Amino acid sequence: VQQSSDLDARAVELDRSHVFHSWSAQGALHPMVLAGGSGTRVWDHSGRSYLDFSSQLVNVNIGHQHPKVVAAITEQATTLATVAPATAHLTRGEAARRIVERAPGGLDKVFFTNGGADANENAIRMARVHTGRDKVVSTYRSYHGNTGAAIVSTGDWRRVPNEYSRGHVHVFGPYLYRSEFWATTPEEEGERALQHLRRVIECEGPTSIAAILLETIPGTAGVLVPPPGYLAGVRELADTHGIMLILDEVMAGFGRAGEWFALDAHDVVPDLITFAKGVNSGYVPVGGVLISGEVAATFDERVFPGGLTYSGHPLAAASIVASIDAMSEEGIIDNARRIGADVIGPGLADLAERHPVIGEVRGTGVFWALELVADRTTRAPLPAALIGKARTELLARGLIPFTSDNRIHVVPPCVVTDDEVAEALAAYDDVLTLLDEEL
Ligand code: PLP
C-alpha cells in the first residue's frame, strides 16, 4: 500500500515537472492520478476507485478496458503495428465499412484522421474545395477542436485567442432556456433560430458560404438537443444556396445520444459527418470524415489537398472494428437509449423537483446536463466557485463529474448499469443539497 501511494505521488511529481496541459494556466494544476479501470470504474495506484460519470472527455462510450477492444489492438500490434496511409489495409477497410453501414445512405467513404479537430479541419477543406467558396457558418455555442479552421469555427471562448484566419461567421442556435429570440416554446425557438440563420446567410452573401458546420447536439456548450424541425430546416436552407452541411458527431455519435449517430433522431442527412471519440472510445487516437457521393466525386479526378501520416492507422482501425462489433453484439447502444429514457432522465427530473439549484435538466441517451442556477426566476448561472465546490464534493464521494460553465454534465459510458446510475444519483443528490444551502 505504501509503495502504491508512492506511485501516485510520483505520477503527480513527474506530471508537474514535465507535462504541459491543455487549456490551462500551468501553475495552479492539481491533476488526479488514474492508473486502471474497468467498465464505468477507474482507480488510482492506491486503490481509490471512482465512478466515471465524465467518460473522461465524454469519449469512453464502451467503458474502460473492454476486453474485446484491448485484444484487437494487441493482436494488430503483434501482426503489423503501422502502415503508410497510401497502402490498402484490410482492417482499415473493415473499419470504414462498419462506419459507412451505420451512417445515413449516400455517405459511402471515410477519410480517417487523428481525432476530432482534424476531422472538422478536413471536412471544411472538402467543403471549400467542392464549392469553391470560403466562409463557414457555425454557432457561438459550440466546440469543434483546437486546430486552425476548427478552432475559428468554435463559438466558445477558446476561439477568441486563436482568431487569425478569415472566412468564419457565427450565429446563435436554438437554446430555449436562455433564448436569444424571446421564444417561449421549442417550436418558436426552432423557427426563430432558423429565421436568424436565414438572415445571416443572406447578409453574408449565400454564394460566399462553403459550409454550415453544426454539432448535431452541441455538447460541451450544454447538451442542447435541437427542437424538432430545426436541423431539417437548416438542411433546406443549405440546399437552397448550394451550401454543404457538415454535422459534427464527434461527441454526440456512436452511442452517446442513444443512437449510432445523433442525427438518426432528427430526420436530416448532411453532406459530411465528422466523428472521433466514441467510434473507438479513445483507446487509440482516431477520428474521421464520412463523405457524400457528391463531395467524394469532386476528388475523383482532382487531387484532395490534405493528408496525415497516421490516416487509418492499423491500431486505430482494429480498435474501431472491435468496438463497433462489441457495441452491436452486446446491445450497448440500446442500453444507452434505454437507461437514458427509463433511469437517468427520470432520476434527474426527480432531483430537479427537490433541488432549487437545478434550473433545467435536458438530454438523451447517456448525454445529459444539469443547468445550475443561483435563482430559478432570473436563471442567473450558479457562480463558478460553487461549481468548483460541487466538483470537489462529488470526487470526495467517489464520482468523477464533468463540469462546464454553470453545469454538471451527466455523461457516463454507454455500458453504465442501473445500479451505477442509482449510486451516482445518490452522490448528486447529496451534493445538490449542499449547493441548495448556499442559495
Ligand atoms: N467536436 C466536438 C463536438 C468535440 O466535443 C470535440 C472535443 O471535445 C472536438 C470536435 C475535437 O476533438 P479532438 O479533441 O479529438 O480533436
The number of the ligand 1 atom at minimal distance from the alpha carbon of 142 is: 3
Q: Which sign, positive or negative, has the C-alpha torsion 271, 171, 182, 407?
A: positive
The per-residue pLDDT for range 11-20, each reduced to its tens digit, is 999 999 999 9
Using the structure block, give the residue that is written with the C-alpha cell 492499423.
Answer: 314
pLDDT at 1: 47
Q: Hey, what's the cell of 333?
A: 447502444
- Residue 220 in contact with ligand 1 by CB distance below 6 A: yes
Q: Which residue's CA lies nearest to atom 10 of ligand 1?
A: 144
Q: CB of 86 within 8 A of CB of 172? A: no
Please name the helix (run of DSSP H) or strand (run of DSSP E) that holds residue 268, with its range, or none.
none
Q: Hey, what's the cell of 271?
A: 453532406
Q: CB of 137 within 8 A of CB of 200? A: yes
Mean pLDDT over 244-259 rounds to 98
How many angstroms does the Cα of residue 277 sit away from the middle of ligand 1?
Answer: 8
**Contacts (Cβ under 8 Å, ≥6 apart) of 418:** 339, 343
- Residue 190 in contact with ligand 1 by CB distance below 6 A: no
Question: With 80 as the cut, is the pLDDT of residue 219 above it?
Answer: yes
Torsions phi, psi of 339, nearest 5?
-70, -30
- Residue 121 in contact with ligand 1 by CB distance below 6 A: no
Q: Hey, what's the cell of 107?
A: 455517405
pTM, two decimals, is: 0.97
Do the first three CATH levels of 32-65+331-438 and 67-329 match, i.e. the same topology? no
The number of the ligand 1 atom at minimal distance from the alpha carbon of 118 is: 16
The number of the ligand 1 atom at minimal distance from the alpha carbon of 215 is: 3
Torsions phi, psi of 44, nearest 5?
-95, -175
Q: What percent of the chain has pLDDT over 70?
A: 99
- How many other CB atoms are found less than 10 A from the CB of residue 359? 23
The full set of domain ranges for the chain reads 32-65+331-438, 67-329
The number of the ligand 1 atom at minimal distance from the alpha carbon of 150 is: 10
- Residue 275 in contact with ligand 1 by CB distance below 6 A: no
CATH domain 32-65+331-438 topology: Aspartate Aminotransferase, domain 1 (3.90.1150)
Which value does ipTM take for this structure?
0.99
pLDDT tier at 429 (50, 70, 90 boundaries)?
A: very high
Which of the listed residues 250, 261, 409 should we mutate to test ligand 1's pocket, taking the one with most ligand atoms within 8 A of CB? 250
- Residue 251 in contact with ligand 1 by CB distance below 6 A: yes
How far, in Å, CA of 413 to CA of 404, rounded?
18
Question: With 80 as the cut, is the pLDDT of residue 165 above it?
Answer: no
How far, in Å, CA of 128 to CA of 102, rounded?
26
The per-residue pLDDT for range 348-376, each reduced to its tens digit, is 999 999 999 999 999 999 999 999 999 99
Domain 67-329: CATH class, spelled out: alpha beta
Q: Which sign, positive or negative, has the C-alpha torsion 152, 164, 115, 211?
A: positive
The per-residue pLDDT for range 21-67, each reduced to its tens digit, is 999 999 989 999 999 999 999 999 999 999 999 999 999 999 999 99
pLDDT at 4: 85
The number of the ligand 1 atom at minimal distance from the alpha carbon of 287 is: 15
pLDDT at 28: 87
